Structure 1
Amino acid sequence: MKILHTSDWHVGKVLKGRPRVDEHIQVLAELVRIAEAERPDLVVVAGDLYETAAPGPETTRVVVRALTALRRTGADVVAIAGNHDNGAALDALRGWADAAGITLRGTVRTATDPVVTGRTAAGEDWTLVALPFVSQRYAVRATEMFDLTGAEANQTYADHLGRLLDALTGSFRADSVNLIAGHLTVVGAKTGGGEREAHTIQAYAVPSTLFPTSAHYVALGHLHRRQAVPGPCPIHYSGSPLAVDFGEQDNTPGVLIVEATPTTPARVREVPIAAARTLRTVRGTLDELKSLEPGDAWLRVFVREKPRAGLREEVQELLPGALEVRIDPELAATPDAPRRVSRAGQSPRRLFADYLTEAGHEDPAVSELFDRLHEEVS
């Protein structure tokens, strides 16, 4: 059978104040075109469909239309909640999803709910353990379904996830293509640069040995960098189909196409997605920036000039795609700066002037603006 593996759409993402709905529509349209060309039997969306747990109507519309379009290609579609999603809200859509032939799993409801089965048009059976993101708070609650002892309830997050997977993968059969979809961090995998740090720390990391040798393929979401993870079975992150922040500008957005049978290892290949605008970080003085040809890329600009009023506006006039403008950290660094003296008793104007001096931002226009604002509020 053939599987299309995607994850971390993050629809609704705003980049430095700039909405990216149009980009997401283009990216997901390209993803659907890939599905139409590849004709997968199953599409797995491994979490983080949305950027926030409270998506707006337009964001919800984009996701629902994308899932519907993927289903119309003839593939079975299974989507799980990630840490950015509201699992309960995703479960609330299950009535619509079931009617549309789409499988949604937002939370672990029962001991059997995450196990999804199907059969391809060619008659191959498949079993998928669709495990949505489980926070530390709910890891114990989920595993209580399997009659834990008091000692077992005090084990670590990885222990609880391992117990869940052991119980759920007990449904795997020798004559079925056995799959796992999860939204989690695996020890040794590399972050993409734009993930939510609270859910990628070591306390949330699990070893790849949690996955059984009976799994033909593990489709992961959460880390935005496309990568394979060594383990007892094929384990892959598909990565995000677009770079969600400048920390991911060097990632290659795409989806994974997986082919597997009950008796052969999974074969995995990447299909790139190029619909989204690229992200770039550029450095230079104003004169150097004038010679840049950034195309339509979104830019993070490190300016090699001393701070002054209006500098940001000058850069954005030169480079309309500049979403973030900062003084180059290498220029602003002052490792040998003297220790600050006491400021007790000094006037606000004197304090602000000292701050500007220490920051290397001695601009009369800024000082005049401060004086005017201070006079107004005083």
Structure 2
Amino acid sequence: MKILHTADWHVGKVLKNQPRIDEQGPVLADLVRIATDEDVDLVVVAGDLFETAAPTPAAQALVMKTLMAMRADGRQVVVLAGNHDNQRLVQDVYRPVLGELGIHVVGTPQRPDRGGTVTIDTRAGERAVVAALPFLSHRVAVRAAEVLLHDPSQHNQDYANRVRAIVGMLCAGFTADSVNLVTTHATLLGGRWGGGERAVQTLLGYEVPPDTFPTSTHYAALGHLHRYQEIAGPCPIAYSGSPLALDFGEEANQAVALVVQATPDTRAAIRPVPVRGGRPLATLRGTLDEVVAAGEETGDAFLRVILTQKASAGLADQVREKLPNTLEVQIDERFRARTESTGVVRTRIGRSPTDLFADFLAEREIEDPRLGAMFAELLDDSTGGR
């Protein structure tokens, strides 16, 4: 059986006021191309379809179109909600609508007989059993344990133990003659951040150990961490990562989807396939002249520029004029204005406003004669030369 594993699309993402949906269209179209070219039997989308819980009509249209295209040619599709998604929207709207097209959608934690475990027969007559667990917040984990496990669930029970118990219940239907898959949106111990995840839902007690998945699992398809990575455990485990770099912390990530092959008698073999269509991200560091020179080699990449010189009026505008793809301009920490006290208190008595303004600029290590001249001109205009 051949499986395409993808996750963390984050459709509707805006980076530093730059919408990414014009890139996300080609990226998701390339995922459909990979599914077709590789002739996969099953597509697993492991959460975070959208960037926000209130996706725009354009974002929803793109996701809907992509999922329907993945279903073409009789491919099976399993989709679950991540922490960025509106889980009720996915469960109450997408699940019934897309379910009519044969797409299996899980927006909120469900018992095995209510959609939490899906048995799928492929075009070739192979069988897969998929245990699907959407993202669980601490609050939802307590409620899910009470509803799914019929457990009163003491609130001090460990989050990881609840997840383990729920996964165990969902995997109880695994059989010896099927390809047994787990898909969830979670943080595994040992996983490496991709750079753009929500830290509060990546740490702070949200980590679960790899042995959460039983040894009867042929493959665990994960979402949430944006970097492609395989994690050692009792079964083959992998994050597909995001199919495009979402933030500047992810500029070195590989944009891939994972093609996975498994049989009931063999462990899964995982192969990353590059995904095209997204614009690269790049960080340039140096003086204005240095970053302008380096920017000539970055093609159509969106840029973050970190200047290693003191701030001056209009400096960011100069960067953007010479490097139009710049989304963010920063001053390197070593050259930023100092706000701490120097311990020296200067009297204001008998000193002119221009002298005081010069002190202000000096304290913040801003060296730009134009600012002093502009201040003097404004002062002259406002006081009538008095």
- Partners of 1:209 and 1:13 lie apart in 2 by 33
- Match of residue 168 from structure 1: 170
Q: CA deviation at 1:89?
A: 0.5
* Alpha-carbon distance change, 61 to 371 in structure 1, aligned in 2, over 3 angstroms: farther
SS state at 1:93 partner: helix
**Contact 2:348–2:356 (Cα < 8 Å) also in 1:** no
- Match of residue 206 from structure 1: 208
SS state at 1:203 partner: coil
Residue 123 of structure 2 corresponds to residue 118 of structure 1? no
Deviates more, 1:142-151 or 1:78-87: 142-151
- Partners of 1:156 and 1:3 lie apart in 2 by 33
- Match of residue 195 from structure 1: 197
- Match of residue 26 from structure 2: 26
Relative to the length of structure 2, the TM-score reads 0.90
- Partners of 1:233 and 1:162 lie apart in 2 by 15
* Alpha-carbon distance change, 340 to 173 in structure 1, aligned in 2, over 3 angstroms: farther
- Partners of 1:149 and 1:223 lie apart in 2 by 31
- Match of residue 187 from structure 2: 185
Deviates more, 1:100-109 or 1:49-58: 100-109
Q: CA deviation at 1:342?
A: 7.3
- Partners of 1:85 and 1:350 lie apart in 2 by 55
* Residue among 365, 378, 385 paired with 1:360: 365
Residue 311 of structure 2 corresponds to residue 307 of structure 1? yes
Superposed CA deviations along residues 35-85 of structure 1, whole A, max 9, x for unmatched, are: 110111110000000000000101111111111111114311111000000
- Match of residue 316 from structure 1: 320
- Match of residue 285 from structure 2: 283
**Contact 2:44–2:77 (Cα < 8 Å) also in 1:** yes
* Residue among 133, 147, 150 paired with 1:147: 150
- Partners of 1:142 and 1:304 lie apart in 2 by 51
**Contact 1:35–1:73 (Cα < 8 Å) also in 2:** no
Deviates more, 1:341-350 or 1:1-10: 341-350
- Partners of 1:349 and 1:161 lie apart in 2 by 64
* Residue among 224, 227, 244 paired with 2:226: 224
Q: CA deviation at 1:109?
A: 3.9
Superposed CA deviations along residues 106-146 of structure 1, whole A, max 9, x for unmatched, are: 10144533111111122111100111001101101101121
Q: CA deviation at 1:288?
A: 2.1
Alignment of 1:1-378 (within 5 A): 1-91=1-91, 92-110=93-111, 112=113, 113-145=115-147, 146-149=149-152, 151=154, 153-292=155-294, 293=296, 294-332=298-336, 339=342, 356-363=361-368, 365-366=370-371, 368=374
Q: How many residues align?
A: 373
SS state at 2:74 partner: coil
Relative to the length of structure 1, the TM-score reads 0.91
Deviates more, 1:353-362 or 1:14-23: 353-362
Structure 1 vs Structure 2 CA RMSD: 2.7
Q: CA deviation at 1:102?
A: 1.0
* Alpha-carbon distance change, 325 to 358 in structure 1, aligned in 2, over 3 angstroms: same
Superposed CA deviations along residues 196-221 of structure 1, whole A, max 9, x for unmatched, are: 11100141000111110000000000
- Segments of structure 2 that go 5 or more residues without pairing to the other structure are none
